[in-house]
C-alpha cells in the first residue's frame, strides 16, 4: 500500500536535469517533494499535485521528500518515437526508453561484434556512497581517465535522485552514466549488466567503470536478504566478459550493528558464498586492533583462497576530495567519523589505477 496526499506547489527550490525539487502545501504545511520531470512533466508554482508520502511517513532514507505521482495541471504529455524498451514495466509509471542494444539503435551491431573487455578494470561496489571516494581518487591519480558509472536497479531507480551524480558530472569526474534493468536516467540505457559493461567499453569508450546501485539499499538482517547480493553476480559478469573485477568490500568500525562491524556480513556473504569467480580486493592500512579483526574475518571465510587480496599503503583520499571540493557521507557518517569505510573505497581505486598504468 502507499500513502497518497494532495497538495499545491508553493515554491520551486531547485531545478536539475530530469528533476525538480519543490515545496508543496499539504494541509496548510509546506513540505519537500521531488518531481521527476520525465515521468510527471514540468511543474510550476500553483500546480495541484498528487503525492506519494509513504517514505516520509515511515521515516525512510529519502531525505524527507515526498514524490509527485501526478500533476493535475498537466493534461497531456507526448513521447518521441525512438526506442521501445519499457522500464518500470506494468506499473502506472512504465516508461519507454531508447536502450542502446535494441535493434533500431545505431549501436546494435557493436553488441554482436563484441569480443572482450580486454582487461578493463571494473570496480564493483554496493552502497551508492562508495561512488564519490572511488571516482575522486581515480581522477586525482589520473586526470585524463574516462570513468563510466553504471547504476543498477538494486535501490533507487531514477538516476536523478543522486545528488552525487550531478556534482561528479559537473566537475568532469564521471564521464558517462549507464542505467540498467529498471533503473533509468543515464546517458545510456541498457537491459542488463552484461550490456552495461559492453556499453562502457565500446560506446562510452571509457577506461574504467564503477558499478553500484543508486541511493538506498534494502536489507533484512538475514544472510541473503539484501539487495547487495548483486555485487557477486556483477563481479562474475565482469570476469565472464574479460574484464578485471575489483570488489569493494563494505568495511566499517563505526556501525553499532555487530553484523556490519569490520567486514560487513553483506561483503562476507558476497565474497564467500555468492561469487563463483575470483576477484581482486584492495585493503587500506588499519590500526593494529582493526587489522586483527579484519584478518580474522578473512581467515574464517577463506577469502585468501577465493580471491586476490592486496594491501594499499598510501591513503590519498583527503587530498583528492580537497582538490575537487567534495565531501563524503555514508549512513550519516563523514570521513572523520568513518575513515575505514572511505579508505577502503579509495584503496580499491588506487589499485585500479595501478592496473591501468601497467597496461
Strand runs labelled E in 17-152: 19-26, 29-36, 48-52, 66-71, 85-87, 95-97, 121-124, 147-152
- The reported pTM is 0.96
Give mean pLDDT, residues 302-328.
97
* pLDDT per position as a tens digit, 109-158: 999 999 999 999 999 999 999 999 999 999 999 999 999 999 999 999 99
pLDDT value at residue 357: 84
Confidence bin at 98 (pLDDT 50/70/90): very high
Write down the pLDDT at residue 1: 85
For the segment 321-347, the average pLDDT, to the nearest whole number, is 96
Of the pLDDT bands very low, low, confident and very high (cuts 50, 70, 90), residue 230 is very high
pLDDT digits (tens, 9 = 90+) for 251-272: 999 988 888 899 999 999 999 9
Let me know: does 191 contact 86? Beta carbons within 8 Å.
no
Please state which of the ranges 30-39, 58-67, 284-293, 334-343 shows the lowest mean pLDDT.
58-67
Query: What does the block give as the cell for 336?
Result: 572523520
* Among 74, 77, 87, CA closest to 48: 74
From CA 27, how far away is CA 348, in angstroms rounded? Answer: 49
Given pLDDT bands bounded at 50, 70 and 90, which one contains residue 62? Answer: low
181 Rama sector, left if φ>0, alpha if ψ -120 to 50, beta otherwise? left
Q: What is the mean pLDDT of the chain?
A: 95
Amino acid at each position: 500500500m502507499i500513502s497518497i496526499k494532495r497538495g499545491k506547489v508553493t515554491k520551486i527550490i531547485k531545478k536539475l536535469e530530469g528533476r525538480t525539487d519543490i515545496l508543496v502545501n499539504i494541509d496548510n504545511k509546506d513540505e519537500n517533494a521531488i518531481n521527476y520531470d520525465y515521468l510527471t512533466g514540468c511543474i510550476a508554482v500553483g500546480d495541484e499535485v498528487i503525492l506519494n508520502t509513504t517514505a516520509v511517513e515511515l521515516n525512510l532514507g529519502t531525505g524527507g521528500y515526498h514524490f509527485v505521482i501526478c500533476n493535475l495541471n498537466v493534461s497531456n504529455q507526448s513521447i518521441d518515437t525512438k526506442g521501445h524498451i519499457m522500464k518500470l514495466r506494468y506499473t502506472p509509471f512504465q516508461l519507454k526508453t531508447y536502450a542502446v542494444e535494441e535493434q533500431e539503435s545505431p549501436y546494435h551491431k557493436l553488441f554482436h561484434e563484441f569480443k572482450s573487455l580486454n582487461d578493463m578494470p571494473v570496480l564493483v561496489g554496493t552502497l551508492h556512497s562508495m561512488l564519490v571516494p572511488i571516482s575522486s581518487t581515480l581522477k586525482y591519480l589520473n586526470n585524463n581517465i574516462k570513468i563510466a558509472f553504471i547504476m543498477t536497479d538494486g535501490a533507487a531507480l531514477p538516476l536523478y535522485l543522486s545528488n552525487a551524480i550531478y556534482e561528479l558530472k559537473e566537475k568532469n569526474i564521471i564521464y558517462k552514466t549507464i542505467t540498467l534493468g529498471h533503473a533509468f536516467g543515464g546517458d545510456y540505457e541498457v537491459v542488463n549488466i552484461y550490456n552495461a559493461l559492453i556499453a562502457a567499453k565500446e560506446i562510452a569508450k571509457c577506461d574504467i567503470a564503477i558499478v553500484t546501485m543508486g541511493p538506498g539499499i534494502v536489507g533484512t538482517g538475514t544472510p541473503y536478504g539484501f539487495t547487495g547480493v548483486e555485487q557477486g553476480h556483477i563481479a562474475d559478469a565482469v570476469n565472464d566478459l574479460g574484464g578485471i573485477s575489483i570488489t569493494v568490500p563494505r568495511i566499517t568500525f563505526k556501525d553499532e550493528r555487530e553484523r556490519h562491524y569490520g567486514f560487513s556480513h553483506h561483503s562476507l556473504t558476497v565474497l564467500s558464498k555468492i561469487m563463483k569467480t575470483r576477484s581482486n580486493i584492495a585493503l587500506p592500512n588499519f590500526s593494529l586492533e582493526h587489522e586483527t579483526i579484519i584478518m580474522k574475518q578473512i581467515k574464517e571465510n577463506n577469502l585468501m583462497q577465493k580471491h586476490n587480496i592486496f594491501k594499499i599503503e598510501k591513503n590519498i583520499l583527503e587530498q583528492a576530495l580537497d582538490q575537487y571540493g567534495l565531501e563524503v557521507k555514508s549512513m550519516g557518517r563523514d570521513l572523520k567519523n568513518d575513515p575505514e569505510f572511505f579508505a577502503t573505497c579509495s584503496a580499491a581505486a588506487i589499485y585500479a589505477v595501478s592496473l591501468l598504468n601497467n597496461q
